[in-house]
Amino acid sequence: MSRVHRIKVREVISETADAVSLIFDIPSDLTRRFAYAPGQFLTLQVPSERTGSVARCYSLSSSPHCDDRPTVTVKRTVDGYASNWICDNVAAGSIVTVLEPAGNFVPRNWNRDFLLCAAGSGITPIMSILKSALQLGNGKVVLLYANRDMTSIIFRRQLQDLMRRYPRRLTVRHWLESERGLPTTRGITEWARPYRKHDVYLCGPAGFAETVKSALAQLRIPARAIRQEEYRSLTDNPFEHHTPAPAVAVPATAAPPRPTAETATVTVDIDGRTHTLPWPRAKKLLDVLLDHGIDAPYVCRESACGTCVCSVKSGRTRMLMNEALIDEELRTGLTLACQTLPESDDVHIAFDQ
């Protein structure tokens, strides 16, 4: 079952002079496959004369709990080929090739107080989380949003409306470079002091993120308590690999592969099917699945996006890198298929948990 779909754009909304939101029309037969959580993203295929296509991840700014249709928001960047192509070419009625929702920048408990920090287009996943927290939870929500000037504030009207609807629960602080210069560690530390017990979610350019983390460190908030969404240029185009051959599954009557010194045995539950495969001990789980024609979810293959997250039900594994999962998630048995190697002879892995 391929995770690549051609989806119609229902509407394009101009948010600012250099940012647009794409509202997608999801066919009824794909509703389940495009169910998403606040903070996740979509990966879009953008045509390219040089390479055929490029893949870019854009956060969902809509909330599945408040909005009728999934929406991504795209802001132009000076040298951003994909963002400029989308802003210049995509219109209502356009067909866009899209991977299903993915990502791990998702709160687990909505009845918490939230400190949300964003700059520029980093507001997109933060907006989804903010709306969902107000709709589902009962805690306070505090947003620090940095921009160049007043005209560059994405979702300005929406934020004003939400403040009127939730005057006792939502606080929004705008930091405008035109008025105060770039955000400073001292300024953020002073502002954030009353909120140091809140759950922190952070998304924005590297410089802004480092300033925020430095300020929170001054308040003795450990780095492990900060959830950060960070996008990178993809070194691999997932659209080139998401047309898999038929999956190679071991028949129920056949003996499963036996572990050897060089190979473990893995049982994988994915998309309602179970596969039992040999797993070379030096080969990452995602590569094993793709080699067997199994359409496992992934985007970056570098441990950053969390798309290939799965659960170790039994056996032992280890990850070569991990930038997406926090300690609490690791304790529950989650791992990243793109970085995971076997450490025991038999391993049971489950996706879609």
CATH code of residue 166: 3.40.50.80
The answer on 128 and 92 residing in a single domain is no
- Domains of the chain: total: 3
Calpha distance 94→250 (Å, rounded): 41
Residue 84 lies in a domain: yes
Q: What is the dihedral of CA 274, 279, 283, 287, to 10 degrees?
A: -30
Biggest CA–CA distance in the chain, Å, is 71
Of 102, 123, 151, which one is at a domain's C-terminal end?
102
The answer on 139 and 35 residing in a single domain is no
Query: What values do phi and psi take at 179, rounded to 5?
Result: -105, -35
DSSP symbol at 180: H
168-227: pLDDT as tens digits: 999 999 999 999 999 999 999 999 999 999 999 999 999 999 999 999 999 999 888 899
User: What does pLDDT average to over the chain?
Assistant: 91
The answer on 225 and 119 residing in a single domain is yes
Residue 234 is predicted with a pLDDT of 67
Residue 258 lies in a domain: no
Residue 235 lies in a domain: no
Q: Does the pTM of the predicted model rise above 0.85? A: no
The answer on 269 and 343 residing in a single domain is yes
236-251: pLDDT as tens digits: 777 876 544 444 444 4
Domain of residue 22, CATH code: 2.40.30.10
Residue 254 lies in a domain: no
The answer on 218 and 118 residing in a single domain is yes
**What range defines the domain where residue 132 resides?**
114-229
